[in-house]
């Protein structure tokens, strides 16, 4: 006991000495980081032992990491890759001792994602693709599309886990809107001012029609599309929640998300609710919902496209321009850029190589200096017409299969969640024609997770059915005992 106490005091004294030494010679931040290293080690070991918790960390980091990079010299993609590696390592370690449900990966989504990943890996052989650009671009183009669903299938195959991630997502949505409200009503902080005026982002965010707020997202367009996705999901799913609290809470979240979409000033984001709600109306197969939904969607379209009401509001005015693209100078510039790309790619059916569209520092190709401004255009430039057709075919197949799966859901709450995911996801893919939102954090990984959730509908349905059966059996048993008593 005396020896152990002596070692304890010695360790405590050494720790205090090291902290003071580092504080005097390296500064407060470094000394705090060093003294906290045992806590980081414990956290690392905990996450290795609990890959589900590690995935929650990945989900949260995916949502906030690009905002964090405005204040610290971090590479957002490297941080996300490290989190993914931690989750995979945790799964592999756990699978040594416990049986893991690897068979759940046998589905059409994993197959389609595998085909696309293989095609993109083979794209490394494209002589026009610099290896440095390929290494950077392959993650956003194919790796996350494959890895995120695989992790979701392995870790979220219980319905209660799906419900938990929805609550976490809702909290992150509120946090994002709160940050945008601070930007609007209090002002931008030093990191955001540097991003706007030192890095030149003010050119697209502080414009004649007003300020486009971006919260802690990569930019206003990404923020607007993310909020539009959340608006569609939480508004639709709130209608089907059994819990009265979640029903009310999700509806409130959808209201905040709607406001976030509006103050982002992102025109393309308006496509997401139009597509999402239209899909929900058609999928409902309910005459009343179809009639009411058609009236509301058509009314909103007519309001924005054929009237000038609310033109004094800068956000409505900017959203309205999305219905008249030929009158928008930036849209016409994109059309001209695409003409140049079409001519350049005429004899390049496999494109100029993955990563090259964004890698002017690695490539001398003229096309690397032309902004793609669109996820689908980027896929076309980097993988050619062959890659674009393959990608569209695979995405079309996944969405068609997802639609059939959603329509087969038996549980009403589950159906509401999955059709909300489907509507928001299809909306994001439509918006990706005009924006690179699917290639950015956090929206891309969330879309891939949403699709994986949809493909587990049958599994969730079976769990809910068994849960309901157990509840009935327990109630019957309780009633028999009460009667006998």
Task: Output the DSSP codes for 358-397.
Answer: G-TTT---GGGGS---SHHHHHHHHHHHHHHHHHHHHHHH
Nearest-angstrom CA–CA distance, 231 and 276: 10
Q: Is residue 55 part of a domain?
A: yes
Using CA atoms, how far residue 407 sits from 105, 284, 331, 411, in Å, is 21, 9, 37, 11
Angle between helix 108-122 and helix 443-455 axes, rounded to 10 deg: 140
**What pLDDT score does 231 carry?**
96
Contact indicator for 130, 123 with CB cutoff of 8 Å: no
Contact indicator for 225, 174 with CB cutoff of 8 Å: no
Q: Is residue 43 part of a domain?
A: yes
**What pLDDT score does 40 carry?**
66
**What pLDDT score does 8 carry?**
46
Q: Is residue 132 part of a domain?
A: no
Q: Rounded to 10 degrees, what is the CA torsion of 156, 396, 140, 145?
A: 20
For 266, residues 6+ apart whose C-beta sits below 8 A from its C-beta are 212, 220, 221, 223, 224, 225, 228, 435
* Structural domain count, the chain: 1
**What pLDDT score does 46 carry?**
79
**What pLDDT score does 320 carry?**
64
Q: Is residue 470 part of a domain?
A: no
Q: Is residue 301 part of a domain?
A: no
Nearest-angstrom CA–CA distance, 147 and 88: 9
Three-state DSSP at 117 gives: helix
**What pLDDT score does 19 carry?**
46
Q: Is residue 72 part of a domain?
A: yes
The DSSP element (H or E) to which 231 belongs, if any, is: helix 220-238
3-state helix, strand, coil in the chain (%, to 5): 80, 0, 20
**Residue 84: CB atoms within 10 Å:** 23
Nearest-angstrom CA–CA distance, 247 and 236: 10
Q: Is residue 412 part of a domain?
A: no
Q: Is residue 474 part of a domain?
A: no
Contact indicator for 232, 226 with CB cutoff of 8 Å: no
Q: Which residues of the chain have pLDDT under 50?
A: 2-4, 7-13, 15-24
Three-state DSSP at 130 gives: coil
The DSSP element (H or E) to which 171 belongs, if any, is: helix 159-185
Tokens of 338: 């695409």
In terms of phi and psi (left: phi > 0; alpha: psi -120 to 50; beta: otherwise), the region of 195 is alpha
Contact indicator for 425, 451 with CB cutoff of 8 Å: yes
Range of the domain at 54: 36-100
What pTM, to 2 d.p., does this model score? 0.88
């Amino acid at each position: 006991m005396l020896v152990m106490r002596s070692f304890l005091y010695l360790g405590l004294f050494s720790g205090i000495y090291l902290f003071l030494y580092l504080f005097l010679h390296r500064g407060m931040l470094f000394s705090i980081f060093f003294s906290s290293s045992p806590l980081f080690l414990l956290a690392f070991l905990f996450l290795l032992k609990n890959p589900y918790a590690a995935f929650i960390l990945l989900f949260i980091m995916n949502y906030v990491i690009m905002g964090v990079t405005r204040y610290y010299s971090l590479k957002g993609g490297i941080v996300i890759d490290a989190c993914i590696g931690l989750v995979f390592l945790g799964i592999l370690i756990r699978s040594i001792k416990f049986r893991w449900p690897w068979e759940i990966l046998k589905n059409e989504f994993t197959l389609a994602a595998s085909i696309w990943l293989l095609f993109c890996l083979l794209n490394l052989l494209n002589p026009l693709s610099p290896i440095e650009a390929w290494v950077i671009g392959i993650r956003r183009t194919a790796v996350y599309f494959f890895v995120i669903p695989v992790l979701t299938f392995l870790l979220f195959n219980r319905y209660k886990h799906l419900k938990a991630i929805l609550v976490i997502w809702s909290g992150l949505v509120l946090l994002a809107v709160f940050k945008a409200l601070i930007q609007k009503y209090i002002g931008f902080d030093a990191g955001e001012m540097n991003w706007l005026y030192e890095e030149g982002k003010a050119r697209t965010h502080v414009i004649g029609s007003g300020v486009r707020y971006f919260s802690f997202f990569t930019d206003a367009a990404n923020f607007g599309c993310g909020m539009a996705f959340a608006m569609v999901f939480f508004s639709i799913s709130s209608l089907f929640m059994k819990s009265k609290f979640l029903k009310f809470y999700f509806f409130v979240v959808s209201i905040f998300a709607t406001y976030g979409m509006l103050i982002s000033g992102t025109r393309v984001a308006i496509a997401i609710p139009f597509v999402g709600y239209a899909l929900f109306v058609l999928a409902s197969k309910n005459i009343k919902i179809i009639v009411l939904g058609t009236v509301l969607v058509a009314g909103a379209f007519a309001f924005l496209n054929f009237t000038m009401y609310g033109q004094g509001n800068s956000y409505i005015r900017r959203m309205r321009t999305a219905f008249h693209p030929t009158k928008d100078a930036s849209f016409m510039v994109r059309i001209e850029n695409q003409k140049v790309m079409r001519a350049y790619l005429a004899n390049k059916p496999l494109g100029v190589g993955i990563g090259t569209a964004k890698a002017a520092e690695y490539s001398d190709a003229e096309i690397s200096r032309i902004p793609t401004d669109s996820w689908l255009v980027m896929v076309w430039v980097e993988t050619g017409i062959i890659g674009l057709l393959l990608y569209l075919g695979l995405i079309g197949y996944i969405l068609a299969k997802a639609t059939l799966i959603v329509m087969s859901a038996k549980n009403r709450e589950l159906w509401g969640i999955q059709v909300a995911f489907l509507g928001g996801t299809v909306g994001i893919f439509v918006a990706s024609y005009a924006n690179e939102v699917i290639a950015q954090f956090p929206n891309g990984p969330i879309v891939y997770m949403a699709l994986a959730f949809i493909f587990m509908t049958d599994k969730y349905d079976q769990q809910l059915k068994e849960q309901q059966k157990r509840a009935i059996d327990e109630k019957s048993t309780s009633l028999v005992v009460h009667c006998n008593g």
